[in-house]
Structure 1
Amino acid sequence: MATEAPPPEEADETPLVAEVIAIGDELTTGQRLDTNSQWLAQRLTDLGLVVRYHTTVADDLQANVEVFQNAAGRADVVVSTGGLGPTADDLTRDAMAAAAGVPLVEHSELVEHTERLWTSRGRAMPPQNRRQAQLPEHARAIPNPGGTAPGVDQTVGRCRLFALPGVPAEMVDMWTATVAPAIAAKTTRSRVTCHWLVKCFGAGESAVEGMLPDLIARGRYPLVGITASQATITLRVTASGADEAACLAAMEPTLEEIRTKLGDLIYAEQPGGDVEIELSTVVMRLLVGRDAMLAVTEGMTGGLLAHWLIDADAGRNILTSTSWSANAVTTTRASFTHHLAIGNARDGVVPIEVITPQGAVQKDIQLVGHPSIQRPLVAKHALNLLRLELLKQSQ
């Protein structure tokens, strides 16, 4: 398929550019995982914005000032999290004011609100909490019903900056009640962005890209991205439109071409944003649909495969597992319709075998890559061999 331009109805609308800023020493030192940025980026994308930048910055005033200045100069919408507490290392308000060249102004209504919160807890407000009643001049407070730290809504030039607390529950509530509606009102017209995931196994990332030479090109529409994680390849198809139906209609020709070219390398498809479907879940669904009983025998993978399948089994109790032995196939077949066996590694090769009522199929898996990925790689190859046999039997 040739590279496609955006549809005509989108040509007159330039998407708003967004940036997400995460603030805190605990993030820059790696002591805490930044899940707030991931959550916000997904929500901004759902609103039709293009999230072009993610920035993480430590609790340093000058660094924060530079980050906010840079963001305000290159994005239409900026959402930050963290740094709104009452302590000396909570610098977001100060940095936003300095970046805009305005002073901080204390708001009496915010002081009273914070005092009431402390009084309701039977305690006097500590003096340092008055800092949370300060906002950059001309900025507006974002109500925080779940905490003492109001957010900040500030306009700098063409950019709208929203500062939210780092506490996830407070951030989510404030986003939903105030920030999301404000951003939606800033867009020129109703527009949503949707993603569709195509999950693949059985070929490497470069091989899959080679099978889809025109689809992965930057600047085409719909956009197709490709990522790899422990040999699972994910294609992410992205389109924008007036609603979800318009997005899916725009994606369909691209999806059909992917299906045609990749065939049974594809093990699942799903909307973006959902919990991604694993190969073990697909195999378990195929087994359940055939009223199958599965025996698993593992050597090199040491129970990893059985662990995945037990998680996917959801209490249906259709499998059992044993350790590898020379006569494992004959000792575990009696009450099971299917058997999946993984042997031990020898000379860099691991044998796998699938036995079904229609017969047996074997395959040798060459150990490649870093040792940390070899066990999951072999387990996925075994699952995929079983998947392909189950699909073959239904044809």
Structure 2
Amino acid sequence: MRAEVIAIGDELITGQRLDTNSQWLSEQLTDCGVDVAFHSTVGDRLADNVAVFAAAMARADIVVVTGGLGPTADDLTREALATAAGVTLVRDEASLEHIGNLFASRGRDMPERNAVQADFPEGATPIPNQHGTAPGIAMAIERTGRPPCHVFALPGVPAELKPMWHATVRPAVLAAAGVQRVIKHYCLKCFGVGESALEAMLPNLIARDREPIVGITVSDATITLRITASGADEAAALAATQPTAAIAREKLGTLVFGEEADELEDAVVRELAARGETLAVAEWATAGLVAQWLVAAAVRHAAASAFAGGVTVASHQQARNLLGAQPPDEREPDASAMSVALAEAVRECSGATIGLGIAAFPAETDTPDARLHVAIATAERTRRLRFGCASHPAIRRPRGAKQALNAVRLALLGHDGD
């Protein structure tokens, strides 16, 4: 069974807003065992909407539409669906009452214009919306000699769309597709080698004809292994991914830092909290990214004490003023020595058990052999490491921040180097 996802709105086709709904819906449809064959984006013009809907109804078995269900003149989904299906709009009194009650619960009278949100193509079924005024639309479009096309129109607001999907649309999609097996994905997150090198470590897992299927994606040097399996239910499908995950963990060792939505900062905060350690950071090169990520991870894991604070510096004078650091002679910049000075000073100032210093002077990063220098200071010793970082700042900074976090993670695990 093939599906099409349609996103509606001038703000999408003009690039003013990113269409994240289509991405999310495609993931959900795939999890239902449905093949997502088409994505369409269309502006707020009736003729264009009708044409896109008609094409989708002809070539897809399931069509999911987002947007265009508001009360304003440019919200055209209702009218366009009716036109494409060759029916008229009819008002649903129960939906109208729900919209009126929603306004009343907010202490407001319902504007007359909002009544159009209770209009539906003839034969359609309202999809309840508990969080907004726009009910969704479910339709079955009959086709000669073929099974009907199932159309679901949802609001574009994610906070409304997602509950409606789970409560009403997903069960309807599963029923329409006659899905007997559920598909689940399980992700392992890796860092420390390139995509090709990692793939070479797992030659038998990446084969195209293998079950479960293993896919590899890369984002800012973080590699995600996505294991896909099917089962009679969600628990069985997830269980089917685990033997493959265990093989990958065994082969990759400490290259694996987490699973699912984990980032490196999550792994670091977990290790800090488990060991009763605290970390402070002084950054010269990564624009405060490490501290920013650690703050967010500490909140996610309810481990605020694991991160003792961070400082960003951009000159020798700032290093002295903010940390009392005694950096090397600024007339002969030495990023390695600076990273050590920063790590030791921030540990001393913050009272943390571990200090992380990061440095890469601008002059160095313009050369092919540029290096990011990282130092990790503890009560026992200070270790220094260096990593290649010759690239555009937009690439260099997040990758450098990840290199520094990974160095701390490995140090906490007892796998560090000088």
Query: What is the TM-score when the length of structure 1 is the normalising length?
Result: 0.81
Q: Deviations over 1:226-257 (max 9, x none)?
A: 22222111111111211233223322332233
Query: Residue in 2 aligned with 1:199?
Result: 189
Amino acid at match of 1:316: S
Overall identity of the aligned pairs, in %: 49
Query: Residue in 2 aligned with 1:316?
Result: 305
- Alpha-carbon spacing, 1:369–1:116, altered in 2? closer, same or farther (3 Å): same
Query: Residue in 2 aligned with 1:72?
Result: 57
More relative contact order in 1 or in 2 (CA 8 Å, sep 6+)? 1
Amino acid at match of 1:376: P
Distance of 1:72 and 1:112 partners within structure 2: 28
Matched, 1:390 2:412: yes
Matched, 1:222 2:212: yes
**What's the secondary structure of 1:162's corresponding residue?**
strand
- Aligned-pair CA distance for 1:390: 1.8
Distance of 2:269 and 2:244 partners within structure 1: 29
Amino acid at match of 2:308: L
- Alpha-carbon spacing, 1:262–1:104, altered in 2? closer, same or farther (3 Å): same
Contact 2:344 2:377 (8 Å CA) reproduced: no
Query: Residue in 2 aligned with 1:273?
Result: none
Distance of 1:84 and 1:147 partners within structure 2: 11
Matched, 1:141 2:131: no
Query: Residue in 2 aligned with 1:344?
Result: 360
Query: Residue in 1 aligned with 2:89?
Result: 105
Among candidates 63, 70, 78, match of residue 93 of structure 1: 78
Query: Residue in 1 aligned with 2:316?
Result: none
Matched, 1:54 2:39: yes
Query: Residue in 2 aligned with 1:82?
Result: 67
Amino acid at match of 2:5: V
Distance of 1:367 and 1:282 partners within structure 2: 23
- Alpha-carbon spacing, 1:55–1:381, altered in 2? closer, same or farther (3 Å): same
- Alpha-carbon spacing, 1:84–1:336, altered in 2? closer, same or farther (3 Å): closer
Distance of 1:283 and 1:186 partners within structure 2: 45
**What's the secondary structure of 1:374's corresponding residue?**
helix
Query: Residue in 2 aligned with 1:255?
Result: 245
**What's the secondary structure of 1:186's corresponding residue?**
helix
Matches within 5 A, 1:208-357: 208-218=198-208, 220-270=210-260, 276-313=261-298, 314-316=303-305, 318-322=307-311, 323=313, 324=319, 325=325, 326=327, 327-334=341-348, 335-345=351-361, 346-347=363-364, 348-356=370-378
Contact 1:117 1:148 (8 Å CA) reproduced: no
**What's the secondary structure of 1:260's corresponding residue?**
helix
- Alpha-carbon spacing, 1:111–1:349, altered in 2? closer, same or farther (3 Å): closer
**What's the secondary structure of 1:288's corresponding residue?**
helix
- Alpha-carbon spacing, 1:219–1:99, altered in 2? closer, same or farther (3 Å): farther
Structure 1 stretch displaced more, 321-330 or 78-87: 321-330
- Aligned-pair CA distance for 1:185: 2.6
Structure 1 stretch displaced more, 298-307 or 332-341: 332-341
Q: Where does the alignment leave 5 or more consecutive residues of structure 2 unmatched?
A: 314-318, 320-324, 328-340, 365-369
- Aligned-pair CA distance for 1:152: 1.9
Distance of 1:124 and 1:249 partners within structure 2: 50
Distance of 2:347 and 2:121 partners within structure 1: 72
Contact 1:296 1:341 (8 Å CA) reproduced: yes
Matched, 1:40 2:41: no
**What's the secondary structure of 2:55's corresponding residue?**
helix
- Aligned-pair CA distance for 1:33: 3.0
Contact 1:107 1:134 (8 Å CA) reproduced: yes
Structure 1 stretch displaced more, 261-270 or 376-385: 261-270
Among candidates 143, 147, 153, match of residue 138 of structure 2: 153
- Aligned-pair CA distance for 1:89: 1.9
Q: Where does the alignment leave 5 or more consecutive residues of structure 1 unmatched?
A: 1-15, 271-275
Runs of 4+ off more than 6 Å: none
After superposition, the CA RMSD in angstroms is: 3.1
Amino acid at match of 1:344: A
**What's the secondary structure of 2:305's corresponding residue?**
coil
Query: Residue in 2 aligned with 1:164?
Result: 154
Matched, 1:27 2:12: yes
Distance of 2:277 and 2:110 partners within structure 1: 65
User: Aligned pair count?
Assistant: 372
- Aligned-pair CA distance for 1:264: 1.6
- Aligned-pair CA distance for 1:318: 4.8
Query: Residue in 1 aligned with 2:338?
Result: none
**What's the secondary structure of 1:316's corresponding residue?**
helix
Amino acid at match of 1:319: A
- Aligned-pair CA distance for 1:170: 3.5
Contact 2:180 2:232 (8 Å CA) reproduced: yes
Contact 2:191 2:223 (8 Å CA) reproduced: yes
Contact 1:114 1:125 (8 Å CA) reproduced: no
- Aligned-pair CA distance for 1:308: 2.3
Distance of 1:321 and 1:116 partners within structure 2: 51
- Alpha-carbon spacing, 1:360–1:190, altered in 2? closer, same or farther (3 Å): same
Distance of 1:85 and 1:382 partners within structure 2: 47
